[in-house]
Each structure stands twice: as structure tokens, then as C-alpha cells.
Amino acid sequence: MLVYIAGSGAMGCRFGYQISKTDNEVILLDNWDAHIQAIKAEGLIITGDVEDKVKLPIMKPSQATKEADLIILFTKAMQLPQMLKDIQGIIGQETKVLCLLNGLGHEEVIRQYIAEHNILMGVTVWTAGLKGPGHAHLQGVGALNLQSIDPENKEAGHQVVDMLNQAKLFASYDENVLPNIWRKACVNGTMNSTCALLDCTIGELFASQDGVKMVEEIIHEFVTVGKAEGVELKEEEITKYVMDTSVKAAHHYPSMHQDLVQNHRLTEIDYLNGAVNSKGQKLGIDTPYCRLITQLIHAKENILNIK
Ligand code: NAD
């Protein structure tokens, strides 16, 4: 397969690196000049659980010409529409497009650019970080679930699962991926935004009784809105998953803390708590916690003059 990684930041580098160890061809796409120059000059440097350096082709989406078999989307949520416009030149009739971004509502966006029978939606608990241009730091083990949106095209989903498993990415075909996408969004919607606002680790948030009460209210809003949209969500099961995750990740500052507080970058809040609030508004369901958290994060982005 010819696999393009559309958005080769932290996660794109992890997936690109692991797929490069298989028989498949990988091309990284990104528009960050320093990152492109570093990878062209030195190769992609990997540290963490493994130390490695690999030569991988990297270019801007506009420079890619060969038709893709698979494109894995790994931009931040707010960058997705632009990326979908930029990759039109490498999309053929049978090019599959896999979305593994965090957050809600991406399927509707992707449908505007990609034929339904080629769309694969997924969710991953792999993680990755960047130490600087051309340098990915990879720690821990993850997994991912994906599903073909078109039930007639399950076979394509299974082929992608097989390829990802050659890359030791521990992929599974999921007959109903949407609840898992919502569950991960709920983890992000409870911990990322709150820890960014409170400037604390996940463990510090969950050690506070008021912090836990707030988390429970947010979960309730996610589950109420999701269920009203027809997504099969169980509040008790999601609460347990969030609590278990908080124990495993107690010492971490979540990625929104890294984006907003540490690096002054725009956040994905509109695709997490913000998405629940806007979906809730359309459904006539009030979601005061998600609304306030979204407003507070945007206010902080404004105060820091992040654009
Ligand atoms: P990132 O910011 O490190 O990478 C995104 C990359 O996309 C950047 O390098 C950026 O330059 C590039 N990009 C954006 N728009 C582009 C365009 N139009 N053309 C070319 N390049 C473009 O982000 P990340 O941490 O890798 O996260 C990607 C997604 O995966 C997010 O939705 C995130 O929430 C999710 N995710 C991240 C992790 C993690 O541990 N980092 C874990 C699970 C899921």
C-alpha cells in the first residue's frame, strides 16, 4: 500500500515511523517548514522506548502527486478541513481515508470531501510527543479501533486493520466505533480542558472532591447528548473508564495543558466540550458545564492572544 500521513506531527510521526518498518510505502505530509527541513536533512529521529533514525519522504500536501491507497488523517481537529482540501490531488476512486483525530463531528466534515465508501472512522489510545522539528518521542503501548462507514465496504476496513497490525499498532475492526469515539472524547472533555484551566495534573484534579464532582457532571452531559443522538453510551461504564484512566495517567499534564498553558497553541475544545454544547443546543438539552468550560478555554486563548 502507498500510505500518506496527512499531518505528520506527533501522532503522524508515530504512525509513519511504525508503518515504515513494514513492506508498505509511507510518505509524510506536513506544512511545517522546519520539520520538513529537519527530516529531509537528518531523517526522522525517534527517542523514548526505541532510539532510531529513519529516512522518510516528507513534503507539503500540494507537492504530493502519486495516488494514495490510504491516507491517515492526523491534523488537529480545527486543521482538518484545510487538510482535506489540500489532499484532493492524491485521492483516487478507491483511496481510503482513515480519521484517528480526537473529538466529535469529524465524520460530517470528511463526508464533504471524501466519498462515503472510502471513509474509515477510528479512535486510538496510542500517544506521541514531539521534542522539536524532526524529533518524535514515543513512549508506551496503545491500540486502535476502526470501522468502515459504508457497511458494504467492511473488507476495506479489515485490509487497513491488517496493514496496521503489521506495523504493530494493535488495530481492531469495530462493528460500532461511534461509542468508542465518544468515550475517548469524554476522557478528553473531562481531563484536558479542566487540567488546562486549573493548571494541574490529572492526579491533582481527581484528588479534589469538587474536581471529581465536576468530572461527573461533564460525563453526564456527554452521555445525555450522545444518547439523544442515538449513540449507545452507558454512563456507569464511561465513568469507570474515566476514573481508571485518571489513575493510570495521574502524573500527566494532558495534551490541552501542553497546547494551551505550555505552548500557547489553539486547543481542540470546540470538538470536545464545545461539540457537546452545540449538539445539546440543537437537541434542546442544556449543557452548562460544557458551555462554561468551552467559554473559559476560548477566553484563555484570547487572553494569550493565540490565533
Ligand atoms: P500535532 O499538532 O503534533 O500534529 C499535527 C500536524 O499537522 C502538525 O505538524 C501540522 O503542521 C500539520 N498540519 C496541520 N494542517 C496541515 C495542513 N493543512 N497541511 C499540512 N500539514 C498540516 O498533533 P498531534 O498531537 O499529532 O495530534 C493529532 C490528532 O491526534 C489530534 O486530534 C489529537 O487530539 C489526536 N491524538 C493525539 C495524541 C497524542 O498523544 N499526541 C493521542 C491520541 C490522539
Q: On the CB side of 63, how many CA atoms lie within 13 Å of its CA?
A: 10
- Angle (CA) 208-210-214 rounded to 5° is 115
pLDDT score of 243: 97
Q: Which pLDDT belongs to residue 179? A: 98
pLDDT at position 216 is 98
Phi and psi at residue 120, in whole multiples of 5°? -120, 125
Closest CA relative to residue 142, chosen from 249, 35, 217, 42: 249
Q: Which residues of the chain have pLDDT under 50?
A: none
| CB-ligand 1 contact for 77 (6 Å cutoff) | yes
Distance, in Å, from the CA atom of 158 to the CA atom of 160, rounded to the nearest integer, reads 5
**Pocket flag, ligand 1, residue 276 (CB < 6 Å):** no
**How many angstroms from the chain centroid is the CA of residue 1?**
23
Ligand 1 contact via 11 beta carbon (within 6 Å): yes
For 96-150, write each residue's pLDDT tens digit. Answer: 999 999 999 999 999 999 999 999 999 999 999 999 999 999 999 999 999 999 9
Total-model pTM: 0.97
- Cα–Cα dist 176/49, whole Å: 32
- Which residue has a Cα nearest atom 4 of ligand 1? 9
pLDDT computed for residue 38 by the predictor: 98
Q: Are strands 129-132 and 135-138 parallel, antiparallel or unpaired?
A: antiparallel
Ligand 1 atom at shortest distance from the alpha carbon of 188: 34
CB of 177 sitting under 6 A from ligand 1? no
Q: How far is the CA of 209 from the centre of ligand 1 (A)?
A: 33
Number of Cβ within 10 Å of residue 75's Cβ equals 23
Nearest CA residue ID for atom 44, ligand 1: 102
Mutate to test the pocket of ligand 1, among 76, 123, 181, 193 (most ligand atoms within 8 A of CB): 76
Q: What's the pLDDT score for residue 251? A: 96
Check residue 239 and give its pLDDT: 98
Is the minimum distance from the CB of 225 to ligand 1 under 6 angstroms? Answer: no
Does residue 17's CB lie within 6 angstroms of at least one atom of ligand 1? no
**Radius of gyration over alpha carbons of the chain, in Å?**
19
Q: In the annotation, is 213 catalytic?
A: no
**How far apart, in whole angstroms, are the C-alpha atoms of residue 17 and residue 53?**
9
135-167 per-position pLDDT tens digit: 999 999 999 999 999 999 999 999 999 999 999
Report how far ligand 1's centroid is from the alpha carbon of 9 (Å).
5
126 C-alpha to center of ligand 1: Å?
13
Residues 227, 225: Cα–Cα separation, whole Å: 5
Catalytic residue, candidates 60, 96, 154, 184 = 184
The predicted-structure confidence for 1-13, as pLDDT tens digits, reads as follows 999 999 999 999 9
Strands 25-29 and 58-59: parallel
The per-residue pLDDT for 6 is 98
Mutational test site, ligand 1, from 62, 74, 258, max ligand atoms within 8 Å of CB: 74
Residue 152's pLDDT is: 93
Predicted pLDDT of residue 228: 98
